[in-house]
Structure 1
Amino acid sequence: MDRDEIETTLKAAFLQCEALFCPLNQQQKEILLEVFFERNSLADGNPLDELTSMQREILLEFILKQERENLAWKSSLLNDWLNDRPSGAVQFIRDQYGLAWLNIIKPIHWQEYLQKLRLTREKLQVGDTIEVSNGLWEWIPADAADSCDWFPCEVIEVKESEDDSPPVSCRIRFQNGEEWEIQAIYQWNRPNWRFLT
């Protein structure tokens, strides 16, 4: 069944509810439609699979940049489209995929690819751009971990351990030129840094 057939079937079910004197209000109908389509879109696979690896990387970079700036990435794209402005590197979404494709993208879809990307890049390398949290230099209560401040920096040195265990530490350089060494980067300090895609 395609989306239109499913919607028609659900609307017929809504009419049957009314005929049996158990009508659903508009909000209930919208919730049922949304939940069904969300589950159905997940069962159909990840729409980001349709993109080339380069397009996916560009889109993920755009999404992460928008998130860091506390902007809704879909809204930014739609504003460009409504105002007939080019969308820069992500213009291909409008040109090749359109609004219908954009609407089926859910956070779970792009987060799945982010997770895959992170799993393939577990080890830090010189030249990586990462973000570090202020949890490296100040105490942050466990219940306030979501309120950490994040700062971009570049990995300038990775110190390997003598045996086959993960690297012990790395040296980073902030945008202001200040350098820090992070100890136990894969152990107790792991929550205090993340990759920038």
Structure 2
Amino acid sequence: MNQAEIEAALKAAFLQCEQAFLPLTDRQKEILLKVTVEKLTTQPNIEDNPLDELTLEQRQTLLEFIQDRQRQNQDWKITLLNDWLNNRDSGAVQFIRDEYGFGWLSRVQPIHLAKYKQQLTDETLKVGDRIEVCNALWEWVQPEDSASYEWFPCQVIDISEVSDGDSSYTNCIVRFENGLEFEIQGIDRWNRNNWRFPEP
């Protein structure tokens, strides 16, 4: 983003704050504008990629969020900043605010995302892919107890697209090493967090 785009986005955010009866003072606007433009227009250090600081699951969640915003023609950073300014929960990516903050967010540049862009395009499953699936697919696991999650290697043996009125989603059948087969519905949607590619 260039300086004009940043200023325009922030001014739109300021206007939304005013419309929500939560106006910022002129001094607050000035500080936000100065810091944001300064941080977002400096040349990033390619070697120091903030996305490398995330866990595999956090990075995957963030990349999915970015991809979703792009599909809706929205800037992912502005969406997060609007949430933060309006003290709204950011859903699955709330961890960025809670654990990393504005400083981390401002360090993320397109060049850093480029390293992981291939991961976004490689997420399309194909028959023959080896993946790992989580036990949360077939049993209840406490979300806050990561020790309860178990991952099992398997191979994708069939993929089918399902159209359900206005939406479509992907189902797939996997075969475990013991020969057992299991169908996963909505593997690209609601069950996306329950599978992963094995780490190299």
Could you tell me the TM-score, scaled by structure 2's length?
0.44
User: Which has more helix, going by share of residues?
Assistant: 1
Could you tell me the TM-score, scaled by structure 1's length?
0.44
